[in-house]
Structure 1
Amino acid sequence: MKQGKITSLWIPKGGGFKTTTAQSLAHGIKLLRPEVEILVIGADYQRNLTDTLAPSAPDFVMSLREILTHKVGINEAIVKLDKAGFDFIPESSLLAGIDLELQQTGSEYRLREALDELEKYYDYIFIDLPPATGSLTINALTASDQILIPSKASRYAETGVESIPNIMAPVLKYTNPNLKIAGVVFGDVSNTNLAKGLIVRITSFVESLGAKAYKAQIRHTVEVEEAQEMHMSLFEYSPNGTATQDSLAFVKEFLEEN
């Protein structure tokens, strides 16, 4: 079934605020537009997204890994998060070895083919990717309409962002010529001159690629770590908190173009 906008959240650098952003997008969009259908796909073997959205979900079964290796159908693996109001495909720690299982010709299209088999229409599909650039990332980028880059204001994040065009190049050439960069959103932002300078440099680079930096920035607060500790999203843990309201401003900005 033809789906709505498919967005991969990705930066080739660990700790880049990807998982928090994925949660914020799903919860924020449902808050602002409760009628839309959303599917969030966990694609990181560290299982951080699953730890928050479905902490009771067992490891090793009914995950993206089993979908890509044709052990289960995608519709069987979907978990309905009734309280949150959107659907979720959990992660498995076995995703760490997925490169060994996706070596056949054409395997980079597995996720696209699986999404075509969805029985339900989703207005938005978000894929929370690991920082690695292996077969799983290529699968997601091949299946996606756009990349959203969640970035911190750090030198390591800047290096990760700068590597994206080279990693995208073979995808654009061989498997998904229509893939776009939606833009970069900055998270965990401190009010320092160093952070401001890095944001300016990363913004300039992203704009040189024809993308944008979102005006809304998620400021550094302890709420993010506290919510993670409680296995809750920001919207559940601290609805009126600084990071939550910053995230909501970003979601509104995202919806203006999507």
Structure 2
Amino acid sequence: MSVISIANQKGGVGKSTTAINLSAALALKGKNVLLVDMDPQGATTIGLGLREATPTIYNVIIDEAEIEEVVVKTPIDGLHLVPSNIALSGAEIELSSQIGREYILRNKLSKLKRNYDYIIIDTPPSLGVLTMNSLVASDEVIIPIQAEYYALEGIALLLKAIRLVRDRLGIPLEIKGFLITMFDKRTNLSKEVREEVKRTFGEKVFKTMIPRNVRLAEAPSYGRPIFLYAPDSRGAKAYMKLAEEVDGK
């Protein structure tokens, strides 16, 4: 059983797309998977067509609901979701004065671990209380990096946060890998970014790269994982390869 956060405080790197489609791919491989949306923007929830789902993770965090009560089914067999919406943005303020606030999600998820092979957490594009909760709750973290200029900008801050979780909070958090997203093999820029990421992080870079793909970009607006929206697309094939790599590591 593994809890994996998908994290990068930089927005627009394919974090929610990865959370949705990696989770769906693992479920299609026969795993029991729980996807936890910890982003107040709710992109993962919306991308699974569950925009109206209530209660949400916010109600769990403020002790208005038990986590078992908020788990909902998704269109993929074997994949369940703990949904989110904009109400979660208030949790940053509400949690700031609580003792042990970084451990809240970890404690809540402990009740569900025996039910799943994987718990995947989509984190917000920041390094605030919600992201720290997600990291503390996790065994591993996947860091998506978009193949564009300034790809590694801000990564040092995230790595510092991961070290903080390890050293000060005593959580044995490991980096599962760095995932290159929106890769376009036709451009020199994408190739240069790939080489820079590999030079910097070596064996920690996933062999699978997620291509820049129109179908992947369209799927969330239809509330479907790529495997239901365009199962034969390059994006679907890439995420299935990623799932095999994650499950084999």
Band the TM-score falls in, shorter-chain normalisation? over 0.9
Q: Could you tell me whether the CA contact under 8 Å between 1:162 and 1:205 is conserved in 2?
A: no
2:129 pairs with 124, 135, 150, which one? 135
Q: Could you tell me whether the CA contact under 8 Å between 1:57 and 1:90 is conserved in 2?
A: no
Is residue 161 from structure 1 mapped to residue 158 from structure 2 by the alignment? no
Question: RMSD of the alignment, in Å?
Answer: 1.7
Q: Could you tell me whether the CA contact under 8 Å between 2:48 and 2:220 is conserved in 1?
A: no
Over residues 157-214 of structure 1, what are the superposed CA-to-partner deviations in whole Å (9 max), with x where a residue is unaligned? 311323222222321122243101011111111121111111221222223xxx6111
Is residue 235 from structure 1 mapped to residue 235 from structure 2 by the alignment? no
Q: Displaced runs of 4+ in structure 1, greater than 6 A?
A: none
Q: Could you tell me whether the CA contact under 8 Å between 2:6 and 2:19 is conserved in 1?
A: yes
Residue in 1 that maps onto 2:33: 38
Structure 2 residue runs without a partner (length 5+): none
Residue in 1 that maps onto 2:247: 255
2:5 pairs with 8, 19, 30, which one? 8
Is residue 94 from structure 1 mapped to residue 110 from structure 2 by the alignment? no
115-124 vs 174-183, greater mean Cα deviation: 115-124
Letter in 2 for 1:48: A
**Cα distance in 2, alignment partners of residues 56 and 218 from structure 1:** 26
Residue 39 of structure 1: SS of its match in structure 2?
Answer: strand
What is the aligned length?
247
- Structure-2 change in CA distance of 1:12 and 1:119 (3 Å): closer
Is residue 150 from structure 1 mapped to residue 144 from structure 2 by the alignment? yes
**Cα distance in 2, alignment partners of residues 94 and 157 from structure 1:** 30
Residue 179 of structure 2: SS of its match in structure 1?
Answer: strand
Identity %: 30
Letter in 2 for 1:141: L
Residue 189 of structure 2: SS of its match in structure 1?
Answer: helix
Structure 1 residue runs without a partner (length 5+): none
**Cα distance in 2, alignment partners of residues 206 and 119 from structure 1:** 30
**Cα distance in 2, alignment partners of residues 254 and 83 from structure 1:** 19
Residue in 2 that maps onto 1:246: 238
Q: TM-score normalised to the size of structure 2? A: 0.93
The Cα shift of 1:11 comes to 0.8
**Cα distance in 2, alignment partners of residues 199 and 226 from structure 1:** 25
Q: TM-score normalised to the size of structure 1? A: 0.90
Mapping 1:1-258, distance limit 5 Å: 4-32=1-29, 34=30, 36-58=31-53, 61-81=54-74, 83-102=76-95, 103-118=97-112, 121-191=115-185, 192-207=187-202, 212-257=204-249
Letter in 2 for 1:71: E
Over residues 125-172 of structure 1, what are the superposed CA-to-partner deviations in whole Å (9 max), with x where a residue is unaligned? 000001111111111111100110112112343113232222223211
Letter in 1 for 2:13: G
Letter in 2 for 1:220: R
Over residues 16-55 of structure 1, what are the superposed CA-to-partner deviations in whole Å (9 max), with x where a residue is unaligned? 11111111112111222x2x21100001111111112143
43-52 vs 172-181, greater mean Cα deviation: 172-181
Letter in 1 for 2:32: E
